[in-house]
Amino acid sequence: MGVLAAAGLGGALFLVVFGAPLLAPGNIGWLMRHDSQTYYLAFEHFRREAWHWPPGLIEHIGYPVGTSIGNTDAVPLVAMPLKLVAAWLPTPFQFLGAWLFACWVLQGAFGALLARQVTSSRLVQALAGTLFVLAPPLLHRTGHAALCAHWTWLAALWLLLARDARRPAAPIGRWILLAAVTAAIQPYLAVCVLGLGLCAAANDLWGASNPAARWRAGGLAFGLVAATATVLWATGIFTVGSGDLQREGLGYFSMNLLAPVMPMGYSQWLPDVRMGTPGQGEGFLYFGAGWLALLATAIVATVRRPAGSARTSVVPHLGWAWAGVVAFTLLAVSPVITAGPGVLADLSAWTPAAVATLRSSGRFGWIAMYLVFAIVVRALALRLPRRAAAGVLLAAIALQLADTRLALAAVMHRERSPEWTQYQSPLSPAWDQVMPAYRHLVLAPSDMCGPAWPSPPAEHLPFSMLAARHGATINS
C-alpha cells in the first residue's frame, strides 16, 4: 500500500501542477514550445511513414538526410507501439502528457520501493516516495519528456540495493528488462543503467565461487550490452552521424560542484549562484530545502545512534557500483571543473574526443543525487523510530513545497495560460488543398539545427505539420 500511495501521490501532484488537460490526446497547444515541438513533429511524421529498417527510421524529416525516433527523443518506447495502431489514431494526437504523468507516478513508486527495502512502514514508504517526486530536477526536466524518466535510475538503484545475503546474485531478467526499456526511452538514461548493470555483473563475478556463478555473471554482462545495443539500433540511434563532436562539447553542459545548493530560480530562500557556463542547466541538481534538511538530520541521527542498534548498515554495500557512481559523477562534472562562476581546472586537452558524444554530461549527476536521497531515507528509517521518521519526512515535504512554492506556482500559471497552451496554425486552408499534388516541401533556407529552439513556435512548425498530414517530406 505504501508503494501504491506514493504512486498515487505522484500522479496527484502532477495533475495539481500541470492540470488534467495535458492528458487529452487532442491537446497539442502546450507542445508547440521549445524542444517539445520536435518530439511532437517526429511522431507526427513517424506514425504516417511506412516502416523502414531499422524500425525507428524517419525519412520525411530533414529530407534527404532524415533522422529517427530515437535521435529526436520522442520516447520510442511509446511511439513505436503506437505506430502499429496509427490508422486508428485521431488527428491531432499526442501521448506526451500521459507519458509525463506516468513518469511522476513511477517516480513515486520506485522512491517508495527504495524505502521499503529498509522499513515495513507504509506511511514512511509513501512519504519517502513523495519526496522523490518533489526533487526539483524532475520538475526542471518536464519540458524534455524522455529525460523525465528519472524512475529508470531509481529502478537501477533499487536493483542494486536489493542485493543482500538472501539474494547474493543480481537478478538477470530484471536488469536486462530495465536496460532494454531504458534504451527505448533515452540514450543518456540507457548509458547510466547499462553502466550500473555492468557494475552489478562485476559484483557477481568478484564474488563468484564456482564456474556456474562466473558464467552467470558473464551472461548478465552480455545480456545488458546486447539488449541496450539492439534496442538503441532499433530506435535508429546509430543511423545519423554524430557530426562535430567538439561543438558545444563536454564541459559546457556540465554539473557545477555547487549544484546541490544552486537553486537556479527554484528556491525562494536560497540565493541564486552564477553558473560556470550557460549550459549548466543540464546539470541542474538543486536538492531543495526539504532534502537538504533531511540530509542534515540523517547525518546527526547516524552519528548519535550506535551502529549496533540496527542490523542493516546505513551506507549500502554496493561494491563496484560505488566506482560506477563516482565515474558518472566525474563525467557530470566534466573536464572543465567549476564551482559557482569560477573554473577550478580545465582538463579538456587530456580528454578523449569520443567522450564528447556525451556532451550533455551534467545529467549524469542525477544518479549521485538519487543515491544520496536513498541513503538519507535508509538512515532515517534505520536510526529513528517509525513515528519519528514519518514526522521528519512529513516536515521535509512541507519544507520542500514551501521552498519551491514560487517555481511550482510559475509552472501552474504557465500551464494554464492561453498564450502557452493554445496554438493556431498561421497557414491558410488553401495549403491543404494544394499539398496532395506534391511529395516534397522545401523551405529556403532550411530550418535545421539552429542555436536553440525559440520559445514561440519555430518557423518551420506549421509547414512540418502540413507535410506530415499529407505524407510529404520536408527539409527542416
Range 110-138 average pLDDT? 97
Pair type for strands 473-474 and 342-346 = unpaired
Would you place residue 167 in the very low, low, confident or very high pLDDT band (cuts 50, 70, 90)? Answer: low
Closest C-alpha to 367, from 397, 316, 332: 332
Range 40-69 average pLDDT? 94
Backbone angles phi, psi at 274, to 5 degrees: -60, 140
Is 351 buried (19+), middle (13-18) or exposed (0-12) by CB count in 10 A? middle
Range 21-35 average pLDDT? 91
Three-class SS state of 158: helix
- Does pLDDT of 165 surpass 60? no
Distance CA 279, CA 378 (A): 33
pLDDT tens profile 84-116: 999 999 989 999 999 999 999 999 999 999 999
Pair type for strands 67-68 and 336-339 = unpaired
Would you place residue 391 in the very low, low, confident or very high pLDDT band (cuts 50, 70, 90)? Answer: very high
pLDDT tens profile 336-373: 999 999 999 999 888 887 787 888 999 999 999 999 99
pLDDT at residue 239 in the model: 85
Backbone angles phi, psi at 58, to 5 degrees: -125, 115
Distance CA 266, CA 286 (A): 8
Beta-bridge mates of residue 473:
440
pLDDT at residue 34 in the model: 79
Closest C-alpha to 98, from 106, 90, 88: 106
Structural element, H or E, at residue 387: helix 386-403
pLDDT at residue 219 in the model: 95
- What b-and-e string marks burial along 379-412, b requiring 16 or more CB atoms within 10 Å of the CB? bbbbbbeeeebbebbeebbebbbebbeebbeebe
Range 194-214 average pLDDT? 92
- Does pLDDT of 247 surpass 50? no
Range 144-153 average pLDDT? 97
32, 37, 39, 42: CA torsion to nearest 10: 120
Would you place residue 456 in the very low, low, confident or very high pLDDT band (cuts 50, 70, 90)? Answer: low
CA 77 to chain centre: 14
Dihedral sign of CA atoms 316, 319, 325, 326 in order: positive
Would you place residue 224 in the very low, low, confident or very high pLDDT band (cuts 50, 70, 90)? Answer: very high
Mean pLDDT for the chain? Answer: 91
- Does pLDDT of 237 surpass 60? yes
Would you place residue 29 in the very low, low, confident or very high pLDDT band (cuts 50, 70, 90)? Answer: very high
Residue whose grid cell is 515535504: 397
pLDDT at residue 311 in the model: 59
- Does pLDDT of 140 surpass 70? yes
Cβ neighbors of 282 (< 8 A, separation 6 or more) are 253, 254, 255, 360, 361, 362, 363
pTM for the model? 0.94
Distance CA 80, CA 361 (A): 27
In the numeric block, which cell numbers belong to residue 271?
540565493
Range 385-409 average pLDDT? 97
Would you place residue 33 in the very low, low, confident or very high pLDDT band (cuts 50, 70, 90)? Answer: confident
Closest C-alpha to 182, from 145, 233, 227: 227
pLDDT tens profile 282-330: 999 999 999 999 999 999 999 886 545 555 688 898 999 999 999 999 9
Pick the residue with more confidence: 378 or 444?
A: 378
- Does pLDDT of 164 surpass 70? no
Dihedral sign of CA atoms 32, 37, 39, 41 in order: positive
Cβ neighbors of 240 (< 8 A, separation 6 or more) are 65, 66, 67, 68, 71
Would you place residue 244 in the very low, low, confident or very high pLDDT band (cuts 50, 70, 90)? Answer: very low
pLDDT at residue 444 in the model: 83
